[in-house]
Structure 1
Amino acid sequence: MSDLVVRQVTKTFETPAGGLAVLSGSALEMSRGEAVAITGPSGSGKSTLLYIIGTLDHATSGNVSILGTDPAPMTPAALAKFRNDEIGFIFQDHHLLPQCSVLENVLLPTLAGAGTGTEEEQRATQLLERVGLGERLTHRPAQLSGGERQRVAVCRALINQPSLLLADEPTGNLDRQTATAVGSLLLELREEQNTMLITVTHSTELAERFPRWCELVDGKLVERKTTAPAS
């Protein structure tokens, strides 16, 4: 059984002119360790689909199952805990807290769980060292480059060892060289952490590097490239 199952998800927004259908039966299945890039024109619903998968938005119909669990019926408190434990988010804007150090920013998601202890600090430090920021632990975001801030955001998304990592235009604000490096980092860490990775991007260059590439066409996901996972 797949670890992520998106079943015929639709999303309609109400507008003064009537209902606007953005998603019309999107479907996707993934297992741990897989990586999928999703492309499509602006307004096609890429981010909407990502937010529905990540439990930040609700589908009009259809459902999403993560590790065999449908989060939709959960209470807000249970859903927040599930999201914090199982899903990591990376956005185009890193959303780092300017008053916190690099290490503190990475540790933020642990505060919603059992708290921050020695084990969590060690894991955060190891992640930051892995992405080349071991000498920046006490720096503030304003002291970092754009690429460094995005690498901190990647570490923050992975600190709770999620089963699903969602990235919304993670290289959109970066120059080409830095974008290439961040794309490589995402793919490498996905493999090392054995997590599922879904990246929404306008960059065909980034999408071509993913083992799977889907395009959102008329509200549905169309697989453009599939590479069988290594046995």
Structure 2
Amino acid sequence: MHIVEAAKSRYSTKAFDSSKKLTEEQVTAVKELIRHSASSVNSQPWHFIIAGTEEGKARVSKGTQDGFAFNDTKVKNASHVVVFCAKTSIDDEYLAALAELEDQAGRYPNEDVKKTVNAGRSFFVGLHRETLNDAEHWMQKQVYLNVGTLLLGAKTLGLDAVPIEGFDAEKLDAEFGLKEQGYTSVVLVALGHRSEEDFNAKLPKARWAEERVFTEC
């Protein structure tokens, strides 16, 4: 499927067919989409929980109770649910480890280039940590870049998906011990195949006209 057609045909799935599951190949492809998403200065400030068993989805659904019960069936009937988690802090030790990862991957022709790149990234991260004081929010924005990658990519894999912000992050963080690991849950993405009863599948898209959303110069 052409990427533009995928963008035009994907939609937020409101009801999943619980009998239809992702194949192992599709799960592997989903992981690769997530792992290779873009992030500012290659910061990759994230972790992902992939719930593909009934037990795993039941744990995730602890965040979709009470005031968020309207999202519970999406979590339980989807084939898989991805919990997107963002780091809660980003320190120099993490940046050094990231530089080593890039070095091992062969991104630096010599030590001087490595030092220059790391200094530039440290400056940018420091801007958010110490000047703007929005490092946690900045890292969550990187997670949303990743969500976009998955939503578009899922359609090219023949999958239906829906992003879910309506959940209790505190309960989900507690369920998986995320705070202790230096993360917080930010958004869920449910994946699978739509139910024939999904009303949203039959509705036309509504998007602002080009004249409203583009300025060309």
- State TM-score, norm by structure 1: 0.30
Q: In terms of Rg, which structure is larger? A: 2
* Structure with a larger share of its residues in helix: 2
* Structure with a larger share of its residues in strand: 1
- State TM-score, norm by structure 2: 0.31
